[in-house]
């Protein structure tokens, strides 16, 4: 596998080169997106357009209200009043900045009569200049027309993302070609090796459960011991989730689809955390089984699990309470929940569950038998019973817990959503439980619905109730680990089971959400970690394993570079990227702070830097284990 290793190294180097190159291409000064003179009338920010409203109705004052199409059942918010100037034929004008992230709904009323004159839906473009002409139609019927005119065309704000994507793609293609040309001989040897089924089986067998070979780097932090399990696809998947997480946490170029959804729905940013939880479940099972197989004591393992969870929670509390934005904090204001805290609790519950009920992996399943086909599920019935009971608790609390002042079973964002009827009900039971048990001031103060839905109450996306569903997510990851070990000799059996889980969970999601964003019984929601969010994301996770396992482990077509390296050092990269987020060179002074392009360059560079750091540490065999 030396050629593959070498190629991995080359791939890492070239991907870094790719990000540097795309950074250079997109760098400040190059004029891919024209800069606008935004100093007149209204100061336009990122994702805004200028709208000039011309009131040409004699004797009528206009009230213009606005809402985003993405804001589900929202009250319209008054944007501006355009009074009648007084002279006929001389319209009075108001200039406003409108959001361009999603489509806009505009309603124009007669201020005095509170009567709707016209209503329009339009998707404005970033930094565009538009005019809305409100006047009487020339047919003498007294009808009123609202015409939208484009004065200056908007810029294409997605262009930098496309360029970065194409540069990355081009470099990967070049790299594959290079690898192909340079090691043609190696490559052929290695193909013939990969095709031989016996060889494949031997590889997988020797890489599962066999004692660690000398010179093997120690595996990463999540594992309770220096376990010898080498499933590269697991580390690669973790690395993919982690790299995406670093990128979106650093801002993701300030694009809305790299930020968390306002309430219901999925964006790129919503994908990464559950995947991380899922793959943590898989690692827990793989490492724990190997420790137990080598005669490790369950009692000692329990102690280590408890200590590790405690450390994760403590580290998490330190990390979510930085002083640089809010000034020095005290215990009264410290946030308690957070990403590492949730990981710690999830880890504890799932690891203890497996520890209590773990059975030795049966050898009979090594050869396909029909009685074995569901053994990975049936042999862990006590765990399933416990997890399903927990899920029952989630459903019961979510849908039947009475919340003062709010409808029972409320799942909405509150604020101006649901026509403003429940402004303080953000998150229903989940929000209520956190506010009751932890207190407002110990929760996250800027939840994602605050902008679009104008919510006022504190709400924590990593709250107590959602942790139940993250346990379910990790447990589905454990299931993936069981499939790996129970059917380790039958690649086909593993892949069929992954595909089956992917479809099964996907169908549950479709049923729960009615294949819609907002209309389902349980919509997909990152803030609540709703049940459908878990089924959807674990369905995706099984799909990714379905692709990665044959490509990375069975055939060895891809080493997993460069994602493999951060995946091997996940704690270090996670803690490091949080702590050093505001340090140079992860962040620097931008020439134009309202430019997606400059933010994107900065965020890609910072992410690439963390990949590079992870690579160097991997080479030096430095792994942060807790
Ligand atoms: C617009 O006019 C209405 C009615 O006169 C008033 O209540 C409201 O505050 C005004 N809004 C703005 C943004 O000026
Ligand atoms: C329109 O607004 C102006 C100034 O806000 C006010 O003086 C005028 O009386 C209003 N006209 C009507 C018809 O409401
Ligand atoms: C505009 O008119 C509609 C119906 O004509 C009314 O329901 C709404 O409250 C009005 N909005 C404002 C801001 O006056
Ligand atoms: C927008 O267009 C209008 C009409 O062409 C023009 O008068 C105004 O100066 C433009 N505003 C900006 C900020 O470019
Ligand atoms: C919501 O909370 C705010 C501040 O906490 C309070 O002023 C307001 O009255 C509350 N609204 C309702 C409907 O309870």
Return the minimum-mean-pLDDT range out of 105-119, 320-334, 432-446, 589-603.
320-334
| Whole-number pLDDT of residue 185 | 66
State if residue 43 touches ligand 4 by the CB under 6 angstroms criterion.
no
Contact 280/474 with Cβ under 8 angstroms? yes
pLDDT of 213 strictly over 80? no
| Test site for ligand 1: of 42, 81, 96, 107, most ligand atoms within 8 A of the Cβ | 81
Distance from Cα 452 to the centre of ligand 4, integer Å: 27
Q: Residue 31 — pLDDT band, cuts 50, 70, 90?
A: very low
Adjacent-strand bridge partners of 342:
none
Distance from Cα 441 to the centre of ligand 5, integer Å: 16
Adjacent-strand bridge partners of 81:
63
Closest residue by Cα to atom 7, ligand 4, is 151
| Test site for ligand 4: of 93, 94, 151, most ligand atoms within 8 A of the Cβ | 151
**Overall average pLDDT of the 451-461 stretch:** 94
Would residue 260 show up in a list of annotated catalytic residues for this protein? yes
State if residue 153 touches ligand 4 by the CB under 6 angstroms criterion.
no
* Three-class DSSP category at 63: strand
Question: What does the DSSP assignment read for 409-429?
Answer: T--S--TTSGGGT-TT-TTHH
Closest residue by Cα to atom 6, ligand 4, is 151
State if residue 593 touches ligand 4 by the CB under 6 angstroms criterion.
no
Adjacent-strand bridge partners of 313:
none
**Overall average pLDDT of the 476-495 stretch:** 91
| Whole-number pLDDT of residue 372 | 66
Query: For all residues of the chain together, what is the average pLDDT?
Result: 85
C-alpha to C-alpha distances, 236 to 275, 276, 549, nearest whole angstrom:
12, 11, 10
Question: What does the DSSP assignment read for 593-623?
Answer: TT-HHHHHHHHHHHHHHHHHHHHHHHHTT--
| Test site for ligand 4: of 93, 152, 154, 594, most ligand atoms within 8 A of the Cβ | 152
pLDDT of 225 strictly over 90? no
Q: pLDDT: is 107 or 139 the higher one?
A: 107
Give me 72's structure tokens: 């589900």
Cα(82)–Cα(134) distance, integer angstroms: 11
For the chain, domains (ranges, CATH) are: 2-33+158-213 (no CATH), 48-152 (2.60.40.180), 232-579 (no CATH)
State if residue 414 touches ligand 5 by the CB under 6 angstroms criterion.
no
Top mean pLDDT of 20-24, 158-162, 373-377 is at 158-162
Distance from Cα 86 to the centre of ligand 2, integer Å: 9
pLDDT of 434 strictly over 50? yes
Q: Helix, strand, coil: what percent of the chain each, to 5?
A: 50, 10, 40
Return the minimum-mean-pLDDT range out of 20-29, 477-486, 566-575.
20-29
**Overall average pLDDT of the 512-519 stretch:** 94
Distance from Cα 82 to the centre of ligand 1, integer Å: 10
Give me 285's structure tokens: 């099972």
Which segments within 388-529 are labelled E, that is strand? none
Q: Which atom of ligand 3 is nearest to the CA of 111?
A: 14
* Residues with Cβ within 8 Å of residue 596, at least 6 apart in sequence: 33, 46, 126, 157, 160, 161, 253, 254, 255
Give me 577's structure tokens: 């990227």
Contact 406/433 with Cβ under 8 angstroms? no
Q: Residue 524 — pLDDT band, cuts 50, 70, 90?
A: very high
Tokens 């030795």 label which residue?
360
| Test site for ligand 2: of 55, 57, 59, 61, most ligand atoms within 8 A of the Cβ | 61
Closest residue by Cα to atom 9, ligand 5, is 424
Ligand with the closest atom to the CA of 129:
4
Active-site residue (options: 102, 138, 218, 260): 260
pLDDT of 274 strictly over 90? yes
| Strand 144-152 to 129-136 pairing | antiparallel
Q: pLDDT: is 501 or 626 the higher one?
A: 501
Tokens 């006929």 label which residue?
88
**Overall average pLDDT of the 469-495 stretch:** 92
Ligand with the closest atom to the CA of 420:
5
* Nearest Cα residue to 282 out of 237, 241, 234: 234
Distance from Cα 54 to the centre of ligand 2, integer Å: 15
* pTM assigned to the model: 0.86
* Residues with Cβ within 8 Å of residue 397, at least 6 apart in sequence: 429, 433, 465
Closest residue by Cα to atom 13, ligand 1, is 80
* Nearest Cα residue to 73 out of 521, 403, 518: 518
State if residue 3 touches ligand 5 by the CB under 6 angstroms criterion.
no
State if residue 152 touches ligand 4 by the CB under 6 angstroms criterion.
yes
Chain-centroid distance of CA 276 in Å reads 10
Cα(221)–Cα(240) distance, integer angstroms: 16
Q: Which atom of ligand 1 is nearest to the CA of 78?
A: 13
Cα(51)–Cα(613) distance, integer angstroms: 46
| Whole-number pLDDT of residue 570 | 93
* Nearest Cα residue to 499 out of 564, 549, 555, 533: 549
Exposed/middle/buried for 115, CB within 10 Å: 0-12, 13-18, 19+?
A: exposed
Q: Which atom of ligand 4 is nearest to the CA of 42?
A: 13
| Whole-number pLDDT of residue 326 | 66
Q: Residue 101 — pLDDT band, cuts 50, 70, 90?
A: very high
* Nearest Cα residue to 536 out of 459, 447, 469: 469
């Amino acid at each position: 596998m030396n050629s593959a290793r070498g190629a991995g190294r080359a791939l890492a180097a070239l991907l870094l080169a790719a990000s540097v190159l795309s950074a250079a291409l997109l760098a400040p000064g190059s004029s891919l997106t024209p800069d606008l003179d935004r100093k007149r009338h209204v100061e336009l920010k990122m994702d805004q357009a200028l709208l000039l409203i011309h009131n040409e109705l004699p004797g009528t004052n206009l009230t213009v209200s606005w809402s985003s199409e993405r804001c589900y059942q929202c009250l319209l918010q008054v944007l501006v009043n355009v009074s009648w100037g007084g002279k006929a034929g001389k319209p009075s004008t108001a200039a406003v900045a409108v959001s361009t992230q999603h489509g806009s709904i505009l309603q124009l009323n007669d201020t005095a009569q509170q009567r709707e004159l016209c209503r329009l839906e339009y998707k404005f473009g970033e930094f565009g200049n538009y005019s809305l002409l409100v006047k009487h139609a020339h047919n003498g019927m007294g009808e009123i027309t609202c015409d939208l005119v484009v004065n200056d065309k908007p810029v294409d704000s997605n262009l930098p993302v496309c360029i970065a994507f194409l540069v990355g793609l081009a470099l990967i293609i070049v790299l594959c070609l290079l690898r192909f040309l340079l090691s043609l001989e190696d490559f052929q040897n290695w193909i013939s090796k990969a095709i031989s089924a016996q060889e494949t089986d031997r590889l997988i067998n020797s890489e599962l459960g066999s004692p660690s070979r000398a010179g093997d780097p120690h595996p990463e932090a999540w594992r309770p011991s220096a376990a010898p399990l080498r499933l590269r696809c697991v580390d690669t998947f973790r690395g993919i989730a982690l790299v995406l997480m670093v990128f979106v946490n650093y801002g993701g170029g300030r694009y809305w689809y790299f930020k968390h959804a306002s309430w219901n729905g999925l964006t790129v940013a919503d994908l990464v955390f559950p995947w991380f939880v899922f793959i943590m479940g898989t690692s827990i099972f793989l490492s724990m089984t190997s420790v137990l197989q080598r005669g490790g004591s369950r009692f000692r393992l329990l102690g280590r699990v408890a200590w590790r969870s405690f450390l994760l929670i403590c580290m998490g509390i330190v990390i979510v309470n930085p002083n640089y934005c809010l000034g020095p904090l005290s215990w009264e204001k410290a946030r308690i929940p957070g990403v590492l805290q949730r990981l710690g609790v999830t880890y504890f519950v799932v690891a203890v569950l497996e520890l209590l009920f773990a059975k030795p992996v049966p050898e009979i399943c090594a050869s396909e038998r029909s009685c074995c086909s569901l053994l990975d599920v049936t042999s862990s019935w006590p765990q399933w019973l416990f997890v399903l009971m927990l899920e029952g608790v989630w459903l019961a609390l979510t849908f039947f817990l009475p919340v003062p002042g709010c409808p029972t079973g409320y799942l909405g964002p509150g604020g101006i959503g649901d026509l403003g009827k429940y402004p303080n009900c953000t998150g229903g039971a989940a929000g209520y439980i956190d506010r009751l048990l932890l207190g407002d001031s110990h929760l996250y103060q800027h939840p994602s619905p605050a902008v679009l839905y104008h919510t006022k109450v504190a709400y924590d996306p990593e709250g107590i109730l959602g942790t139940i569903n993250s346990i379910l997510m990790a447990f589905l990851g454990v299931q993936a680990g069981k499939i790996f070990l129970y059917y380790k000799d039958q690649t086909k059996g593993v892949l069929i089971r992954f595909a089956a889980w992917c479809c099964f969970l996907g169908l549950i999601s479709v049923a729960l959400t009615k294949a819609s964003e907002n209309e389902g019984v349980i919509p997909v929601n990152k803030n609540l970690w709703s049940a459908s969010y878990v089924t959807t994301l674990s369905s995706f996770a099984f799909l990714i394993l379905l692709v990665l396992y044959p490509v990375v482990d069975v055939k060895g077509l891809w080493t997993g570079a460069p994602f493999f390296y951060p995946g091997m050092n996940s704690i270090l990269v996670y803690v490091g990227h949080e702590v050093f987020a505001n340090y140079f060179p992860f962040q620097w002074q931008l020439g134009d702070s309202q430019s997606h392009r400059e933010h994107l360059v900065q965020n890609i560079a910072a992410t690439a830097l963390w990949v590079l750091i992870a690579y160097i540490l991997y080479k030096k065999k430095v792994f942060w284990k807790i």
